[in-house]
Amino acid sequence: IVFTGSTLTGQAIARAGVANLKRVSLELGGKSPIIVCRDADIDKAVPVAAMAVFVHSGQICIAGSRLFVAREIHDEFV
């Protein structure tokens, strides 16, 4: 059984799989941080960060949900 989706549904699938001795692979919801270090190429980092959040309207399991930018480049990045 392979499932990608919410944690709540994944828990139910895991319980059902265990009860029936099935192999289960789950990719559940999580937080996907975008980390921008002080030596990042800002001209590349800005559009990549925006795309990570907005591509597919955030409806994918790897959508960026948090943005961490080094203090030294914060103002320029924003």
pLDDT digits 0-9 by tens, 7-43: 899 999 999 999 999 999 998 877 788 999 999 999 9
Q: Rounded CA gap, 42 and 38, in Å?
A: 9
* Residues spanned by the domain of 4: 1-29
| Cβ count within 10 A of residue 69 | 20
Q: How many domains does the chain have?
A: 2
- Domain shared by 23 and 35, yes or no: no
- Which of the residues are catalytic? 27, 61
Whether residue 44 sits in one domain with residue 20: no
The dihedral built from the CA positions of residue 58, 60, 66 and 67, taken in this order, carries a sign that is: negative
Whether the per-residue pLDDT at 45 is higher than 80: the answer is yes
* Separation CA 3–CA 17 (nearest Å): 11
Q: pTM to 2 decimals?
A: 0.63
The end-to-end CA distance of the chain, in Å, is 42
Same domain? For 10 and 35 the reply is no
Same domain, 64 and 45: yes
pLDDT beyond 90 at 63:
no
Q: Is residue 70 located within the same domain as residue 38?
A: yes
Same domain, 71 and 46: yes
> How confident is the prediction for the chain on average, in pLDDT?
91
Beta strand 64-69 pairing with 32-36: parallel
